[in-house]
Structure 1
Amino acid sequence: MTTSLVGLHSNYREELRDYRLLCSKAGGLTVIVLVLMGMAMDYVLYPAEQKYFAIARILISVTISLALLSLYTETGKRHVQVITFFWLLLPQAMISWMIYATQGEQSLFYAGLTLTIFAVGILFHYGYSQTLAFGLATVALYYIACVAHPGGVQDPGKFEFQLILIFFCALASSIYTYFNEKGRFQLFRLKNEVAQKNDELARINESLAQIKGQLLQQEKMAAIGTLSAGLLHEVNNPVNFCLMAIELAMEESEVKQSPSLQECLVDVKQGMQRIQHIVSDLKTFAYRKPGATADDVPFLFEKALESSVRLSAHELRGVTVTRELPGDTLVLGDEAAIIGVLINLFSNAALAMHKAGTISRQVHVAAQWRDDRLHVNVRDNGPGIAPENLARVFEPFFTTREVGQGLGLGLSISYAVVERHGGTLFAESQFGEWTAFNFDLPRAE
């Protein structure tokens, strides 16, 4: 038997036990009512014994009530089948005693025994073996009641007929219970399979949503790449003309004699060069050459870091970014994708610090070589990540931002990017003090 089938049977037994508990409680109350209502039958059939029968019915009802009360305890819940079997036999024993005390095999009470057997098979979710045992116990009680009757068995043919009839009822009830039990298990298995299919469908939908989000992100990046490539072409020409004009102006004697004018031209020159860098960074970030893979292009990590800082300049306003890098940062991979990872980490850190009102906001980027991989640590002094959220930060669409402030895909995509480079992106945090993200990249040969 496979592990899944064992688990299925275990779950079925657990659910069946709860259902049997409910049936036992409801059935017990019903039996108590029927037993007490039987006093009217005693009055009609056996008025002389009515007083004794009433006392017996009350005692049986009280005993069944105590048995039902025990089902509210932990011990009672664990042994619901045994307790139910016990209190179900009580009415059978009472009816058998009434048969003994009245007319033996001539008593009409034998019909109550057969009805109870069928009721147990239909209403109570017993196993077929328990139902058969209950029926055989009823046969034995009826046999004893008739044989021990003071006048003995007066009509052997009728006695044997009714004894066989009760036995057939027991057998038929157990057969019905067997197939009913099979049907209940098949229904439970189908319900379980439907639930599993629904779970699989939910996971597929979640994966499709994640893929859709990633495709959307890639489309955005491609659009930015196309736009930035055009901007580079269109902007570079006027920028170059401006730079040439600034160089010529700086050679004029009037400029050389005026420190303030010379300083202004230097500032203008740096501004134009910054425009060139920004457009170039946009192109590097968003445009991937055809055929490029995640591990066949060498690039300097420090250059990717500089690009990401420049592209995140708007979010990093008021944030001090410090670096601690080795002399050699040449790695293999997709420079554009790694820039995207760094931009996402910087943006998240800046937003968290701004939202928490962090004073003296800082982001520190450290890297060191271990086992031919560059291990990068990006740490901020922001509010940290709550412990209950730390394990979920890489889940697609999980975000603590306000509605409309983000899809919750940034870290999920970043995790996939680092994984594609053979590394792992993971988070550390001290709630209320700091957050750090770590990842590693392969060394370029």
Structure 2
Amino acid sequence: MTARLPDGVVLAPEESYETALRHFRLEFSRAGLRTGIVLVLLGVGLDHAMYPEWQAAFAGWRLLASALMAVILCGMRTEWGKHNSQWLTFGWLLLPQIMIAAMIAATEGAASIYYAGLTLAIYSSGIVLAFGLWQNIVFGGVSYLLYAAACAHHPVSFELHGPFVVNSMFLLMSATISAVFTVYNERARYLLFKLKAQVAQKNRELELTNRSLAEIKGQMLQQEKMAALGTLAAGLMHEVNNPVNFCLMAIDLAAEDPVARTSPLLTECLADAKQGMQRVQHIVSDLKTFAYRKNGDNLLSAHFLFERALGAAIRLIGHELKDIKVARDLPADTLVRGDEAAIIGVLINLFSNAVMAMRKAGKRPHELAITAVWTGQRLLVTVRDNGPGIPDEQLARVFEPFFTTREVGQGLGLGLSISYRVIERHGGVLLAESVVGEWTKMIFDLPRAETEQR
């Protein structure tokens, strides 16, 4: 698997209004359905008070309607039910209406108190539930037709000044009011959705700004540390080089002494001492190259040998590589263009992370392989370790600022983030690949130095 931090933070895709409305309607329909089941069952008390002779029959009807509504509630939990929630809502709302119409037909027709239940359901469809306009109109019309059909069993109900006309007017008025509420509720929901989307967008932009500020702050701290280290390196080179040069001169003079020439042991000791002093010179020189940064726009146009930068990085982190087998496979020509000190810093960071991971895993022998190949005008560099690997969920975040798997106090989580930006400034990309339990690779590329300027 490969992980790369994109140029900008990828914002979460915005949910469409249709999708949000579908979820909204589904949740409100479920809540309304549960409430409807409870109300249908509680109506047993009304049956007992108003029509005790029908109590047993009506109780059966209520149980049947509640059972069918419960089946619809279960169906709404399925994927099919979620995509057809509006039709299911229309269906479960009609079940109590059909039951109430049957009760009206069985009792007093237009004079029955149950007509109030029809009115309550019509109001609920427009005011409480997130119904669409056409659904609300159809539901109101069907409810009225059910009421008219129930009253048809009682011809006396159709008297001009009787309760049927009055109740019909109330039902039609309820349907009209419900439809008007539906229109304005729909508008209010849309405005609320837009407001939530704007707030969410502002929050994402704020999060992006905070991340950028945190990364800039981390880079500034790192630059301050490098500047201080550069000043220290310059003073260190001045203070150390003089006594080192004196020691080298003394070793050369001692090596010319006749006694030293006739003593193999003394000759070997002087050679070892000279080699040690030269190593001190190299380390101080590498430290200055790494930390004593130059200024100016031409920094990335400078030419340097990647092989030299790699050697400097290995020497500077040599104390951490004592028990690590380091293998190098480089082409004969490694002349590249860029900021040598910054690339040394990238290599040191990659080596340090690899060493810590390998030692933490306890896997032996520890192996670190650095390979480089030319691909067109880019030098492709791979740093591979045989550590424990990086899990997929962490691999996708390794280049995020302040992301770290180390314990508190062992790192800020800025190393790979800064390294990514360094390679990005060189026109390349830093990638991470890993197989858990096997290996981890860090891959980056650098531009070839122009031939005419060599």
CA deviation vs aligned residue, 1:44-95 (integer Å, no higher than 9, x gap): xxxxxx4236513531442232222232033555444434434433444454
Matches of 2:363 and 2:253 in 1, distance apart? 46
Shift of 1:339: 0.7
Q: Does 1:329 align with 2:334?
A: yes
Query: Structure 2: which amino acid aligns with 1:213?
Result: G
The alpha-carbon distance between structure 1 residues 137 and 326, as it changes in their structure 2 partners (threshold 3 A), is: closer
Structure 1, 297-306 or 236-245: larger mean CA deviation: 236-245
**Range with bigger deviation, 263-272 or 110-119:** 110-119
Post-superposition offset of 1:418: 1.6
1:56 partnered with 2:58:
yes
Q: 2:23 aligns with which of 10, 14, 36?
A: 14
Pick closer, same or farther for the CA change 1:93–1:341 going to 2, 3 Å: closer
Q: Secondary structure at the match of 2:158?
A: coil
Give the direction of change, closer, same or farther, for the CA distance of 1:21–1:263 in structure 2 (3 Å limit).
same
What is the identity, as a one-letter code, of the residue corresponding to 1:8? Y
Taking structure 1 as reference, are residues 82 and 361 closer, same or farther at Cα in structure 2, changes over 3 Å only? closer
Structure 1 residues 211, 99: CA separation in 2 closer, same or farther (over 3 Å shift)?
same
Q: CA deviation at 1:299?
A: 0.8
Report the counterpart of residue 340 of structure 1 in structure 2.
345
Tell me if the contact between 1:293 and 1:334 (Cα under 8 Å) persists in the aligned partners. Answer: no
User: Structure 1 residue 291: deviation in Å?
Assistant: 0.5
1:308 aligned onto 2:313: yes
Do the aligned partners of 2:431 and 2:444 also contact (CA within 8 Å) in 1?
yes
Mapped to 2, the partners of 1:431 and 1:142 lie a distance apart of: 69
Note the C-alpha offset of 1:405. Answer: 2.0
Q: Which runs of 5+ in 1 are unaligned?
A: 44-49
Tell whether 2:290 aligns with 1:285: yes
Aligned equivalents of 1:274 and 1:231: distance in 2? 15
Kept in 1, the 8 Å contact 2:302–2:338? The answer is yes
Task: Identify unmatched segments of 5+ residues in structure 2.
Answer: 1-12
How far apart, in 1, do the equivalents of 2:417 and 2:133 lie? Answer: 54
Letter in 1 for 2:19: S
Counterpart for residue 254 of structure 2: 249
Q: Which residue of 2 aligns with 1:47?
A: none
1:28-427 equivalences under 5 Å are 28-33=37-42, 35-43=43-51, 50-52=52-54, 54-73=56-75, 74=78, 75-100=80-105, 104-146=109-151, 148-151=153-156, 153-156=158-161, 159-293=164-298, 295-427=300-432
Q: Give the structure with higher Rg (CA).
A: 1
Shift of the alpha carbon at 1:18?
2.7
Structure 1 residues 9 and 289, CA gap change in structure 2 (3 angstroms)? same
3-state DSSP of counterpart to 1:10: helix
Aligned residue identity for 1:69 = V
Mean Cα deviation higher: 313-322 or 394-403? 394-403
CA shift, 1:391, in A, is 3.6
Tell me if the contact between 1:105 and 1:155 (Cα under 8 Å) persists in the aligned partners. no
Report if the CA contact (8 A) 2:385-2:439 is conserved.
Answer: yes
Give the counterpart letter for 1:59 in structure 2.
W
Equivalent residues, number: 435
Task: Provide closer, same or farther for how the CA distance between residues 98 and 21 of structure 1 changes in structure 2, counting only shifts above 3 A.
Answer: closer
| 1:63 partner letter | A
Q: Is the 1:226–1:287 contact (alpha carbons within 8 Å) kept by the matching residues of 2? A: yes
Instruction: Give, as a single letter, the amino acid of the residue that structure 1 aligns with 2:60.
Output: I
Decide whether the 8 Å contact of 1:53 with 1:98 is kept in 2. no
Q: After superposition, what is the alpha-carbon deviation per residue over 1:291-312, rounded to whole angstroms, capped at 9, x for unaligned? A: 0545310111111111111101
* Shift in Å, 1:128: 3.0
2:445: which partner in 1?
440
Residue 415 of structure 1 deviates from its aligned partner by: 2.0
Q: Residue in 2 aligned with 1:24?
A: 33
Whether contact under 8 Å (1:28, 1:68) holds in the other structure is yes
Q: Secondary structure at the match of 1:436?
A: strand
8 Å contact kept, 1:71–1:80? no
CA contact (8 A) 2:105 2:150 kept: yes
Shift of residue 387, structure 1, vs aligned partner: 4.5
Q: How many Å separate the matches in 2 of 1:6 and 1:436?
A: 37
CA distance in 1, matches of 2:321, 2:140: 82
The CA deviation at 1:183 is 1.8
C-alpha RMSD over aligned residues: 2.8
TM-score w.r.t. the length of structure 1 is 0.87
Q: What are the Cα deviations for residues 265-295 of structure 1, in whole angstroms up to 9, with x where unaligned?
A: 3322222222222111111101221105453
SS at match of 1:72: helix
Q: Given the superposition, is the C-alpha separation of residues 220 and 100 from structure 1 closer, same or farther in structure 2, using an over 3 Å criterion? A: same
Letter in 2 for 1:68: A
CA contact 1:104–1:153 (8 Å) conserved in 2? no
- Match of 1:65, SS state, is helix
Distance in 2 between the 1:142 and 1:379 partners? 79
Deviates more, 1:154-163 or 1:249-258: 154-163
Deviates more, 1:19-28 or 1:328-337: 19-28
3-state DSSP of counterpart to 1:32: helix
Q: Name the CA shift for 1:429/1:121 in 2 (closer, same or farther; >3 Å).
A: closer
Question: In the aligned structure 2, how far is the partner of 1:347 from the partner of 1:5?
Answer: 40
- In 1, the alpha carbon distance for the partners of 2:209 and 2:321 equals 37
TM-score (norm 2): 0.86
Q: Which amino acid aligns with 2:308?
A: K
